[in-house]
A and B are shown apart, each in its own frame.
Chain A
Amino acid sequence: MPDLEIISEGTLGSGAAEWTIGSIPQDYQHLSLEIKTSSTYTGANDRQAYVLVNGATGWDYGYSGMRISDNDATDAFATYFGGYIGAEFGRISTSSQSVEQRTIIKLWFGNYSQTDMKHIWLCSMVSGNYTTADNDCWAQSAGGIGSTTAITSITLQDAGGSGGEDFDADTRYCLYGWKV
């Protein structure tokens, strides 16, 4: 019996500034989440994106990361628990230069069902544009919430969920559970 299982997978079907995977079963130890997406935003080459958990929309989150975007040198970004409303994990590609460009994202949520430590997650993401070179991005990051409550839902948010900045309709995801 394999100890890595698909919990859920799907395609958004319509653009959304934020979307949620809810009712996550609690009988796994770890989660990993793979996403292929882009932003419909046209005002910039890439756009910040965030993870929120358990529907918490307060100033509960912190993050730490490094990124390369738009041909810039590596940048580091961080804030502490309570420093922001959501955990930025990097910048996803937009429709500014090509509506066909996509970002691939992998997130790791260790011990998501434990309730004895504040929850941290890791992210690795990358995108490239085959028509122009300055719309590429890469990021490694960690996000966290200052809470030990088990994670039962994960929300992805495009640039704070503001209007006109949606995850594209063809956004695809797959959530895995790791047993122990």
Chain B
Amino acid sequence: MSHTLLSHTKVTGTTTSFVDITGIDQTYQDLCYWFVGHASDTGTYTNPECYTLFNNDSGANHTAQRVWTHGTAKYASNTDNANEFWFAGLGNKQHSNNSGGTIFGYIPNYTATTNYQGHTFWAWGGTVGDSAIGATGSMILQYTGQWTQETAINQIEFGYPAAGIYIAQNSTFSLYGVKNS
């Protein structure tokens, strides 16, 4: 099994809402990705939520189960037919104080067009808050998403949808192709 880097983005601007990886090579078996960073805002959101889309599809085709924490509070939810995959907050400039919050995602068999009810993927995420606000800027996430389209995945978008919230400078997104070679 080998991994090949397909794309790496380091955010340099201050108004980048999302990264958009297009034209994904279709010759691999699976995909995996790393997002390392946080949101830019310093406002009232303890943890503004980040999202992912495949193939720029914002239709009601996104089903997910997730468990997550904020500080020592636990949550779980199920979502059917949403317009995107909502992960959970990964910290912001104020409450996670420039932490490299991380999401690692894995998308098996991304080129298949005969999947059962589409593509299922999973992701783990987490971050740690700063001492100024206690543990509420901390979170951990386990996530399973299902894109209910039987279409090969050739595009991945990751970002923050809320107005005025951007991906912080120096955040990175790395995409790898996985195959048996």
- CB within 8 Å of B: which residues of A? 2-4, 29-30, 62-66, 74, 76-83, 87, 108, 110-111, 114, 116-122, 124, 140-144, 146, 148, 178-180
Tell me how many residues of B have a C-beta within 8 Å of chain A.
46
Contact of B172 among A83, A111, A124, A142 (CB under 8 A): A111
Is the pair A77, B170 in contact by a Cβ cutoff of 8 Å?
no
Chain A residues touching B, majority SS = strand
| A30–B126 alpha-carbon span in the complex (Å) | 15
**A–B Cβ pairs within 8 angstroms, 13 of them:** A62-B129, A66-B69, A74-B74, A76-B73, A78-B71, A81-B129, A108-B124, A116-B170, A120-B127, A122-B102, A144-B100, A144-B127, A180-B174
Chain B residues touching A, majority SS = strand
Residues on the A chain within 8 Å of B170, using CB? 114, 116-117
Is the pair B128, A66 in contact by a Cβ cutoff of 8 Å?
no
Contact of B124 among A29, A62, A77, A140 (CB under 8 A): A140
Interface centre among B5, B128, B174 (most CB of A within 10 A): B128
Is the pair B135, A110 in contact by a Cβ cutoff of 8 Å?
no
| A65–B70 alpha-carbon span in the complex (Å) | 9
- Stretch in contact with the other chain, from B113-121, B136-144, B146-154, B157-165: B136-144
